Amino acid sequence: MSDAPRPRLSNATLDSLSAAVERPGYDRGAVQAGVVHLGVGAFHRAHQAVVFDTLIRQGDPRWGVRGASLRSAGVRDQMNPQDGLYAMTVRDGTDERVRVIGAVKDVLVAPEDPSTLVHALAAPQTHLVTLTITEKGYKLDPATGSLLEDDAEVVADLADLSHPRTAPGFLTAALSLRKARGLKPFTAISCDNLPHNGERLKASVLAMARRSDPALRDWIEAEGAFPQTMVDRIVPSTTPEDIEAMAARLRVLDLAMVKTEPFLQWVIEDRFAGERPELEAAGVQVTTSVAPWEEAKLRLLNGAHSAIAYLGALSGRTFVHEATADPALRAFVERLWDESAATLSPPPGLDVGAYRQALMARFDNASLNHRTRQIAMDGSQKLPQRLLAPLAERLSKDEPFEALALAIAAWMRWQGGRDDAGAAFAVDDPLAAITRRAYDSVPDAAGRVAALLAIETIFPPRLAAAEPVRHALTQQLDRLDRLGAQGAVEAFGQPD
């Protein structure tokens, strides 16, 4: 076999792809960069970039994307040699469709050259700034949503915005430049699974701006726009096997490909600072009230995902579809949904019963191979909106919350870094050192529950102090310790 580098997907090789692969079909040279996106991970490539690609295909070339990474050069090195092109494979059972997305023009690496990113954000043609930087990328306290003012990068940005490091730092520096140039602010759209994502992003930018220039803060408050959003599409991380399978299909190598499901939903609050695309034409819901959509998605889809991730991974399930194939775990997810669904005020047009059925079918999609450990990541940032919020609501109404307690107790057991078969793993979470210390500080379930509940950045003090919460968590953690996750799920609802 020859060692010559394999040809890559690019503008030059696009025409060589088989006719079965859908291509952009527009003049990429005419595409402008109306969008700057921070965090060009798998999700952006399978969600927002697809919407912008659709809008360009429909004839509006203003909505090309300049991407940026706030951390490493990895995605830039995958995408720039491919002229920003990548394939998205949409898998549903045995059905697979491949579409090459052309909306991304290039990717910048902010730490190498922060000023180029600030200038891209401040460019007159930039109207939208979208973000998928993970929950932890916002540098917020997960329990309260306030800016982590003692985080080293936040401290640096608060002191000096000439070389920003954080997302709110970049947005603030660029908004300052726009104000000085007499431009309108861009619309900043958080597409992460944070609760009240728009409000939280706005508050962090205002906190940065207030420190550097109170007049800038007031201008952003008056003229800026940070719409709330609900984003939904399951996008598992790409594996080397996915890349090889795609190379066989395309006959060129694509290091930036993504895999996903057919479902895509994007609900955006109708709040824009300047020009915006006709998002509705690409299937986006633009509405006055996003909160009910967001709550339903975070508590039902993501809450169940986290429960499946911890219970599934502890009991040795690699993928979500393997976990939902187990009748006991599947029945448990329904009980969890019974508890969480009762805390919702569903938006008009959402049939919660049908939504639950559709979610289970999406989890069952065996062609996605969505790893339980991917979802288990960063639990400290996810627990509050997914599981603790519905728990708090049920507690305040004196309603039972055993299923929520088992899901949270499974997260607690995960903090010990050992699955039910005794295999050790590293907990991937910005607070892993703190949760591990709490977990290791005492050997029994009651002590561990108390030590973990004392972490105020995850658990609101009122919730942590409630005796019924402690009691239920201790009972479920004790069962997990004695019976393992599978046993605890099978014993769910039965007396000890």
Q: State in angstroms the smallest separation of the CB of 370 from ligand NAI.
A: 8
How far apart CA 385 and CA 133 sit, in angstroms, is 17
**Nearest Cα to 297, choosing from 339, 267, 271, 324?**
267
**Segment contacting ligand CS2 by CB under 6 A, of 116-124, 228-236, 277-285, 350-358:** 228-236
Selection from ligand CS2, ligand NAI, none that 69 binds (CB < 5 to 8 A by kind) is: ligand NAI
Nearer CB in complex with ligand NAI: 67/224: 67
**Nearest Cα to 377, choosing from 84, 116, 134, 49?**
134
**Nearest Cα to 401, choosing from 349, 340, 316?**
340
Q: Which of 37, 76, 178, 233 binds ligand CS2 (CB under 6 A)?
A: 233
How far apart CA 435 and CA 420 sit, in angstroms, is 19
Selection from ligand NAI, ligand CS2, none that 132 binds (CB < 5 to 8 A by kind) is: ligand NAI
Pattern 305-344, ligand CS2, x by CB under 6 A: x---------------------------------------
CB atoms within 10 A of CB 95: 9
CB atoms within 10 A of CB 53: 25
Residue with the CB atom nearest ligand NAI in the bound state: 41
Pattern 426-455, ligand CS2, x by CB under 6 A: ------------------------------
Q: Give the neighbor-by-neighbor strand order of the sheet with 95-101.
A: 95-101, 86-92, 258-260
**Nearest Cα to 169, choosing from 154, 190, 183?**
154
Selection from ligand CS2, ligand NAI, none that 305 binds (CB < 5 to 8 A by kind) is: ligand CS2
**Nearest Cα to 420, choosing from 480, 354, 363?**
480
H/E stretch holding 71: none
Q: Residue 375, interface with ligand CS2 (CB under 6 A)?
A: yes
Q: Which two tokens stand for residue 279?
A: 């998002």
Selection from ligand NAI, ligand CS2, none that 476 binds (CB < 5 to 8 A by kind) is: none
Q: State in angstroms the smallest separation of the CB of 191 from ligand NAI.
A: 6
Q: Residue 193, interface with ligand CS2 (CB under 6 A)?
A: yes
Measured at the CA of 192, the angle between CA 186 and CA 197, to 5 degrees, comes to 65
Q: Which two tokens stand for residue 15?
A: 């025409």
CA 180 to the chain's CA centroid: 33
Q: Which of 184, 374, 447, 490 binds ligand CS2 (CB under 6 A)?
A: 374
CA 331 to the chain's CA centroid: 26
Selection from ligand CS2, ligand NAI, none that 209 binds (CB < 5 to 8 A by kind) is: none
CA 138 to the chain's CA centroid: 12
Nearer CB in complex with ligand NAI: 192/294: 192
Nearer CB in complex with ligand NAI: 309/395: 309
How far apart CA 154 and CA 140 sit, in angstroms, is 10
Selection from ligand NAI, ligand CS2, none that 302 binds (CB < 5 to 8 A by kind) is: ligand CS2
Q: Residue 232, interface with ligand CS2 (CB under 6 A)?
A: yes
Nearer CB in complex with ligand CS2: 108/485: 485
Pattern 379-398, ligand CS2, x by CB under 6 A: ---x----------------
Positions in the binding site for ligand NAI (CB under 6 A): 39-44, 69-71, 132-137, 167, 192-193, 231, 233-235, 237
Selection from ligand NAI, ligand CS2, none that 192 binds (CB < 5 to 8 A by kind) is: ligand NAI
How far apart CA 28 and CA 441 sit, in angstroms, is 58
**Nearest Cα to 227, choosing from 289, 302, 138, 301?**
289
**Segment contacting ligand CS2 by CB under 6 A, of 9-17, 95-103, 226-234, 453-461:** 226-234
Q: How many residues bind ligand CS2 (CB under 6 A)?
A: 10
Q: Residue 304, interface with ligand CS2 (CB under 6 A)?
A: no
How far apart CA 138 and CA 302 sit, in angstroms, is 19
**Segment contacting ligand CS2 by CB under 6 A, of 13-21, 227-235, 280-288, 468-476:** 227-235
| Helix pair 432-440, 445-453: axis angle to 10 deg | 150
The 3-state secondary structure of 30-65, one letter per residue: HCCECEEEECCCHHHHHCHHHHHHHHHHCCCCCECE
Tell me the β-bridge partners of 36.
66, 129
**Nearest Cα to 326, choosing from 492, 95, 93?**
492
Q: Are 203 and 395 in contact (CB under 8 A)?
A: no
Q: State in angstroms the smallest separation of the CB of 2 from ligand NAI.
A: 32
Q: State in angstroms the smallest separation of the CB of 447 from ligand NAI.
A: 32
> Residues 12-15: contacts with CB within 8 Å, 24+ apart?
13/252, 14/85, 14/100
Nearer CB in complex with ligand NAI: 294/339: 294
Q: Residue 302, interface with ligand CS2 (CB under 6 A)?
A: yes
**Segment contacting ligand CS2 by CB under 6 A, of 27-35, 147-155, 230-238, 336-344:** 230-238
Q: Residue 234, interface with ligand CS2 (CB under 6 A)?
A: yes
Q: State in angstroms the smallest separation of the CB of 258 from ligand NAI.
A: 8
Site for ligand CS2, rule CB under 6 A: 193, 232-234, 301-302, 305, 374-375, 382
